[in-house]
Amino acid sequence: MQNKLQELTDKLYNEGLSKGKQEAEELKSKAKEEAEKIISQANAQAAQIVEKAEKEAVELKTKVNNDLKMASTQTISAIKQQVETVVTTKVINNPTKTVMSDPDFIKSIITTIIKAFNANNPDSVSLEMILPASMQKDLESFVKNEIAKQLTAGVNVEFSKAVPNGFKIGPKDGGYMLSFTGDDFESMIGSYIRPATKKILFGE
């Protein structure tokens, strides 16, 4: 009886132990599968993150390179323009302002322009002229005497601080004035000289 009881006890123990081991193996296998699944998902997510980061890095690098290229192009262009302006200013502006402040030179231009208004034509119009206030002493007598004599319709003369050099002329009440100031000559001469200056300086 005792032997049978021992056998039964051993049998139950062995069956329980075997079942326990089986369940433990199943749990272990399941846990391993879950762990592998989690690791696989984590690796996939990590790969996506790395891929996204690499893509963003490439895009950022491209953008930075493009911005740098654009900035350098604009900077070089601005520097070239400044150099060109400095050169043309020294070549054109200063000499032009000097010449356009010379009373004798102004007198010669006025004389030439007056002829263009058909001074000898009996139907010639009355003219209006604006001259620099700084040159009134040198030009007032010349305009009112010599120039006025050449115009049958007469000329109205105004000396203004608004005209720093050169002069402006046009038909009186005609609604327009022809400007012959230093700035006008600088602009006209500059339009011819700047392309040549650019080519000499930069080969463009």
Burial class for 198, CB neighbours closer than 10 Å (0-12, 13-18, 19+): middle
pLDDT for res 180: 85
Closest of 149, 191, 153, 198 to residue 171, by C-alpha = 153
For the chain, 204 residues long, give each residue's pLDDT as a single digit of tens: 566 666 656 665 666 656 666 776 777 778 777 878 888 887 888 788 888 888 888 888 888 888 778 877 787 777 767 776 666 766 666 777 788 888 898 888 888 887 777 655 555 677 888 899 999 999 988 888 888 777 766 778 889 999 988 889 888 777 788 888 888 877 777 777 777 666 766 666
What is the model's pTM?
0.51
Closest of 174, 183, 125, 116 to residue 154, by C-alpha = 125
For residue 120, the SS3 value is coil
Task: Give residue-wise pLDDT tens across range 30-68.
Answer: 877 787 888 888 788 878 888 888 888 888 888 888 877
pLDDT for res 44: 81
What is the β-pairing status of strands 127-132 and 155-160? parallel
- Distance between CA atoms of 32 and 36, rounded to whole angstroms? 6
For residue 122, the SS3 value is coil
pLDDT for res 133: 92
91, 95, 100, 106: CA torsion to nearest 10? -110
pLDDT for res 45: 84
- Distance between CA atoms of 89 and 56, rounded to whole angstroms? 48
pLDDT for res 124: 64
- Distance between CA atoms of 96 and 187, rounded to whole angstroms? 10
Q: Which letter does DSSP use for residue 128 in this model? A: E
